[in-house]
A and B are shown apart, each in its own frame.
Chain A
Amino acid sequence: MATLTTHPDCVPLVSYRFGKGATNIDKYLELDGYKSARKALELGPDAIIAEMKTSSLRGRGGAGFPTGMKWSFVPKQSARPKYVLVNGDESEPGTCKDRLIFEHDPHSVIEGVIIAALAIQAKMGFIYLRGEYRYLIEIMEKAVADAYAKGFLGKKILGSDIDLDVVVQTGAGAYEVGEESALMESLEGKRGVPRIRPPFPAVVGLYGGPTIINNAETIATVPHIFRIGAAEYAKLGTERNGGTRLFCLSGHLVRPGVYELPMGYNLKKMIYEVGGGIPNGKKLKAVVPGGSSTPVLLPEEIDIGMDFDQVGKAGSMLGSGGVVVLDETVCMVEFALRTMKFYQHESCGWCIPCREGTDWLKKSLTRLHEGGAVDKDIDNIRYLAENMLGRTFCPLGDAAAMPTIAFVKKFRKEFEDHLEGRGCPYHRAAQPEPALV
């Protein structure tokens, strides 16, 4: 069982019910469950969206789009049914937070869906879980069944005359399916290839109907906003970055773990105090602040508040909240290679720059790391990444290009040290496959 880690600076808001047995609907109800949904029902669509705007909640999936604004884009009148789609595909390396929510507080996701559905007048919601999280399917399906049994879902929910169905869906292994339009394709039973935008999902989404797509944490946060009040919630964070967030600390830390901290929490403090600093007396070399797609920060760049705006100003992104910490023993070429290997493996293959670009970057980085590179390779790697940036069909290409550009820029010397004959100056060159016994 994956668990939350705590620290005195933590603010248990989304994690309020973690570890308290809230998978049980009675326990959930005991802990203020489904009260927010009732509140929202009384408020009605416009007031719900106004509250959401007040909360200044920004999407926890990566891009940080203001959630209230996203909901407000859904047209009031629509010939086709509207949908709420929860993105629980959680696949960004360095990120393992949504899993905790589904595991510990499945009803908060369902309640979030109810509020979102009330806001846009949708009659159907989907909760999409990545295939690897098979065990969560059982938890979620049970929670949904319980919610139906108690009248929170199904016909005339909460005693109103509103109907709402919720279906739990599983993926089957594909990072790209986390991208919102690919997610809809996957949910429609197709290959997880993104769609052309515009039209945006809020107007033409799932099955052609207006659809809001939110990260699982975003959705799970919604009932808590109504529980404590939108203004209260906003105050927890920084300007335009309301509330708290589940940060996933991983890598070279004494106390890695998932912590709920206020938006804008200082990164340096997060690493040295919350995460307990770098183990074995090693020095910090670099930090990937928001999942593998975000450009790496140098130790001198980490005295920043962890919100979308401040990290952006520092030249990186807050992303999915996955803070990956690297100590001085890490070979940056190997790290860049592993990162690229991921994107190469996960590119959907639709557009040329991403499909071919990730493949050639992986090949070049492999050669560089193994010591078979030629001089022009380093410039070539940067050239490739720069020519992918902003030219791909969906942001996956950018997600592969941005960190690569940063690695080459910030650690060029280390890349040069790998040139022909020299190989990896660190302990671990790529090892041959072990001989078979």
Chain B
Amino acid sequence: MSTQPAQPGTIFSPTLAARFDRLVTLYPVKRSALVPMLLYAQDEIGYVSDAVIAEVAARIGITELDVRNVVSYYSLLRTKPAGKYHVQVCTNISCMLRGGNEILDHCKKKLGIPNKGVTPDGVFSLEEVECIGACSWGPAAQVNYAFHENLTPESMDQVLADYRAKAQNGGGK
């Protein structure tokens, strides 16, 4: 972690705030930084909160409505917290042919939550997603951004178990 001093009036970590300061200067127009900013903010805060929207709007100089219009368009951006580990199972055609639905059902049973649910302890959330670009290695899932491919119910169990252990050890994302 960088040792930058905390910036006044930001909800973000010094590193992220500094990154945002730079990001808006990279493009011919500031607004181009919007989508990356939102995604990076979500990565840090866990979701796109009202406070994130307000600060991002201010940083770019657009209205909060503008930001919300954009946030709600992109499927990776969420306005409610997810679990610490967000399990995204692909069931699109290639994965489906190789058992994607079974992996999804398996996760539902294993985690005891429906699609888009969050476990009571907040460790896992589950989402059925569209193609994640792992078609030749399906069925596949992403936990946060990490790919897990050629899954079977058994290997999925292992994936979940590893993350649970990580959570118990206070591990990061």
- Are any A and B Cβ atoms less than 8 Å apart in their complex? yes
Knowing A96-B136, A248-B136, A251-B93 touch, does A173 contact B74 (C-beta < 8 A)?
yes
Knowing A171-B74, A250-B135 touch, does A93 contact B32 (C-beta < 8 A)?
no
CB–CB B93/A249 < 8 A: no
Shortest CB–CB separation between residue A22 and chain B, in angstroms?
20
A contact residues around B133 at 8 Å (CB): 90-91, 95-96, 98-99, 130, 132-133
User: With the chains together, A91 CA to B69 CA distance in Å?
Assistant: 22
Knowing A175-B130, A251-B93, A338-B96 touch, does A188 contact B31 (C-beta < 8 A)?
yes
Contact of B29 among A167, A188, A288 (CB under 8 A): A188
Shortest CB–CB separation between residue A397 and chain B, in angstroms?
17
User: With the chains together, A324 CA to B138 CA distance in Å?
Assistant: 11
20 contacts between A and B (CB under 8 A): A2-B134, A93-B131, A95-B133, A135-B146, A174-B73, A187-B32, A189-B29, A189-B35, A189-B60, A190-B34, A248-B136, A250-B135, A251-B93, A256-B137, A338-B92, A338-B93, A342-B93, A342-B130, A346-B130, A436-B112
Q: Provide the A246-267 mask, 1 if CB < 8 A to any CB of B, else 0.
A: 0011111000111000000000
A-side residues, CB < 8 A to B, are 2, 5, 81, 90-96, 98-99, 124, 130-135, 167, 169-175, 186-192, 207, 248-252, 256-258, 288, 292, 322, 324-326, 330, 335, 338-339, 342, 345-346, 348, 428, 431, 433-434, 436-437
Report the nearest B residue to A176, measured CB to CB: B73
CB–CB A132/B145 < 8 A: yes
Knowing A132-B142, A330-B97 touch, does A207 contact B73 (C-beta < 8 A)?
no
Q: Tell me, yes or no, whether B33 is within 8 Å of chain A by CB.
A: yes
Shortest CB–CB separation between residue A252 and chain B, in angstroms?
6
CB–CB B105/A434 < 8 A: yes
A contact residues around B108 at 8 Å (CB): 433-434
Other than A96-B136, A191-B73, give 10 A-B pairs with Cβ distance below 8 A: A91-B130, A96-B137, A98-B133, A131-B39, A169-B35, A173-B75, A256-B136, A335-B93, A338-B92, A436-B113
User: With the chains together, A122 CA to B112 CA distance in Å?
Assistant: 53
Shortest CB–CB separation between residue A436 and chain B, in angstroms?
6
Q: Tell me, yes or no, whether B52 is within 8 Å of chain A by CB.
A: no
On chain B, the number of residues with a Cβ less than 8 Å from chain A's Cβ atoms is 51
User: With the chains together, A307 CA to B86 CA distance in Å?
Assistant: 39
Knowing A167-B26, A189-B31, A189-B33 touch, does A93 contact B92 (C-beta < 8 A)?
yes
CB–CB A124/B137 < 8 A: no
Q: Tell me, yes or no, whether B125 is within 8 Å of chain A by CB.
A: no
Knowing A132-B142, A192-B74 touch, does A324 contact B35 (C-beta < 8 A)?
no
Report the nearest B residue to A99, measured CB to CB: B133
In the complex, the 6 A-B pairs of residues with the closest C-beta atoms, listed nearest first: A173-B76, A189-B34, A189-B31, A172-B74, A250-B94, A173-B75
Knowing A96-B134, A338-B96 touch, does A174 contact B112 (C-beta < 8 A)?
no
